[in-house]
């Protein structure tokens, strides 16, 4: 993959996450503009975006394998740009819900299409995944930072318009610099990876189960950290711009975990590393649930390090154990199931916080992290997987 095209693919990951979190970052201003009493009452209107982020991954992955990943990435860039500008034109909560759902459809393209395209010929896939994950999480940090400043400058609508224009420009550049594919991945004749059926099914369902728990933690924290930060630092920091900078700093620091994990995945087996990261999630969330003020802020950095650190594992398992001819379809199915389920967390976030508060929510996240630890125990050992691959190849 040429350098400019690779940079644009990593930037696309940043844009993908940025777009999905503009609403959560600006929700208080949107609620005020639309005449809705509290931000919690606006949160259910974004569930369509996250639901389609999951469900639309299946057709996106199928089209990526059978039509072409380069072509689908062009649909991503231009679709995201136009739909984001469309969100900025909405006038009611219902219009907002529809526009965000359309945005979610296009956002579903990146993970099952862009990541396999980036990794097709990567010599160090773990590191490539780490860098790509860093880019995605910097997009989360940028969502907190840019949205805060754009809202303060020109209002919440500009927070959607500016990234939308950036996405359109990136689409033009990608069309110019990304090489054309020789053919659709699904049409390749040779297989580089082929596992026995029972191990393939077991590995797939472990990927789905762990992706669901990590997706729940990711969605709830990235959508809830803004209001949670304001609550836990109330009386210490109240300026929205400063809160945006602090939230961006959490994500920026936590994003470095992607690079560390990516480097480790190129050197060590997946299962023990994944187990350790998920186990540390339990400790971090449990501590954060009882903390306030700057102690909570330090704990927030710790749990986001573990949340982001868990992200590369699913893509690494796809690259190691799924042949390139069907990676987009497998990734799309995995994402559809896991994020389709975890999108319910976005719908429930506002009502749960309104009824029980953030402390109880954080305790619930501790339980979700513990469930992930149980699931990863069922992942086949890498030695067994490699032995099985060797038998099939011979």
CA distances for 99 relative to 32, 48, 106, 138, 341, angstroms: 19, 9, 11, 24, 21
Rounded CA-CA distance 278/368 in Å is: 10
Give me the domain span that covers residue 77.
Answer: 3-393
Q: Residue 323's domain is classified under what CATH number?
A: 1.20.1250.20
Q: How far apart are CA 259 and CA 86, in angstroms?
A: 35
Residues 170 and 218: their CA atoms lie apart, in Å, by 26
Number of domains in the chain: 1
What is the token pair recorded at 41? 């009452």
CB count within 10 Å of CB 2 equals 10
Per the CB < 8 A criterion, the answer to whether 32 and 157 are in contact is no
pLDDT in tens, 142-162: 887 788 888 888 888 999 999
Give the per-residue pLDDT at 205: 87
Q: Write down how long the chain is.
A: 394
- Tokens matching residue 343: 């999108």
Supply φ then ψ for residue 202, to 5 degrees.
-60, -45
Task: Show the tokens assigned to 81.
Answer: 């740009």
Q: Do residues 128 and 7 make contact, with C-beta atoms less than 8 angstroms apart?
A: no
- Per-residue tokens: 265: 């995945």
pLDDT at position 107 is 94
Query: Three-state SS across the chain?
Result: CCHHHHHHHHHHHHHHHHHHHHHHHHHHHHHHHHCCCCHHHCHHHHHHHHHHHHHCHHHHHHHHHHCCHHHHHHHHHHHHHHHHHHHHCCCCHHHHHHHHHHHHHHHCCHHHHHHHHHHCCCCCHHHHHHHHHHHHHHHHHHHHHHHHHHHHHHCHHHHHHHHHHHHHHHHHHHHHHCCCCCCCHHHCCCCCCCCCHHHHHHHHHHHHHHHHHHHHHHHHHHHHHHHHHHHHCCCCCCCHHHHHHHHHHHHHHHHHHHHHHHHHHCCCCHHHHHHHHHHHHHHHHHHHCCCCHHHHHHHHHHHHHHHHHCCHHHHHHHHHHCCHHHHHHHHHHHHHHHHHHHHHHHHHHHHHHHHHCHHHHHHHHHHHHHHHHHHHCCCCCHHHHHHHHHHHHC
- Rg of the chain on CA atoms, in Å: 20
Nearest to 171 by CA among 84, 52, 87: 84
Measured CA to CA, the distance from residue 290 to residue 24 in angstroms comes to: 24
Q: How far is CA 368 from CA 209, 220, 281, 310, in A?
A: 11, 11, 9, 13
At residue 151, φ and ψ (nearest 5 deg) are -65, -45
| pLDDT per residue of the chain (394 residues) written in tens, 0 to 9 | 778 999 999 999 999 989 988 888 888 888 888 888 777 778 778 888 888 888 899 999 999 888 889 999 999 999 999 999 999 999 998 999 999 999 999 999 999 999 999 988 777 888 888 889 888 878 877 887 788 888 888 888 999 999 999 999 999 999 999 988 877 777 776 555 566 777 778 888 888 899 889 888 888 887 788 888 888 887 787 777 788 788 888 888 888 888 899 889 888 888 999 999 999 999 999 998 888 889 989 999 999 999 989 988 888 888 777 777 888 888 888 888 877 677 666 666 777 777 777 778 888 889 989 999 999 998 887 766 666 555 544 4
pTM score: 0.77
């Amino acid at each position: 993959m040429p350098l400019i095209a690779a940079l644009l693919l990593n930037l696309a990951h940043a844009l993908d996450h940025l777009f999905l979190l503009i609403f959560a970052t600006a929700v208080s201003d949107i609620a005020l503009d639309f005449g809705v009493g509290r931000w919690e009452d606006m949160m259910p209107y974004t569930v369509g975006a996250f639901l389609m982020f999951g469900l639309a991954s299946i057709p996106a992955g199928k089209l990526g394998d059978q039509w072409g990943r380069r072509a689908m990435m062009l649909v991503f860039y231009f679709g995201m740009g136009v739909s984001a500008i469309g969100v900025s034109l909405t006038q009611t909560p219902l219009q907002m819900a529809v526009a965000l759902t359309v945005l979610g459809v296009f956002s579903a393209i990146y993970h099952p299409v862009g990541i396999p395209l980036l990794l097709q010929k990567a010599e160090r896939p773990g590191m490539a995944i780490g860098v790509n994950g860093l880019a995605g999480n910097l997009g989360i940090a940028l969502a907190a930072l840019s949205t805060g400043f754009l809202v303060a400058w020109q209002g919440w609508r500009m927070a959607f318009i500016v990234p939308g224009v950036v996405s359109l420009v990136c689409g033009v550049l990608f069309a110019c610099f990304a090489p054309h594919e020789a053919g659709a991945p699904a049409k390749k004749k040779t297989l580089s990876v082929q596992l026995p059926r029972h191990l393939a099914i077991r590995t797939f369902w472990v990927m789905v189960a762990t992706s669901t728990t990590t997706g729940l933690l990711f969605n709830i924290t990235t959508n809830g950290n803004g209001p949670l930060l304001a609550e836990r630092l109330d009386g210490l920091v109240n300026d929205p711009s400063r809160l945006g900078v602090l939230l961006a700093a959490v994500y920026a620091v936590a994003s470095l975990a992607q690079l560390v994990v990516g480097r480790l995945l190129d050197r060590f087996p997946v299962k023990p590393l994944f187990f350790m990261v998920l186990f540390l999630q339990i400790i971090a969330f449990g501590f954060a649930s009882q903390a306030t003020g700057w102690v909570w802020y330090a704990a927030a950095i710790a749990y986001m390090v573990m949340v982001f650190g868990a992200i590369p594992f699913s893509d690494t398992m796809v690259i190691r154990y799924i042949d390139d001819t069907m990676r987009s379809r497998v990734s799309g199915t995995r994402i559809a199931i896991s994020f389709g389920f975890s999108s319910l967390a976005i719908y429930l976030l506002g009502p749960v916080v309104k009824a029980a508060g953030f402390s109880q929510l954080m305790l619930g996240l501790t339980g979700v992290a513990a469930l992930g630890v149980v699931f990863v125990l069922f992942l086949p050992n890498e030695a067994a997987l490699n032995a099985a691959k060797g038998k099939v190849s011979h």
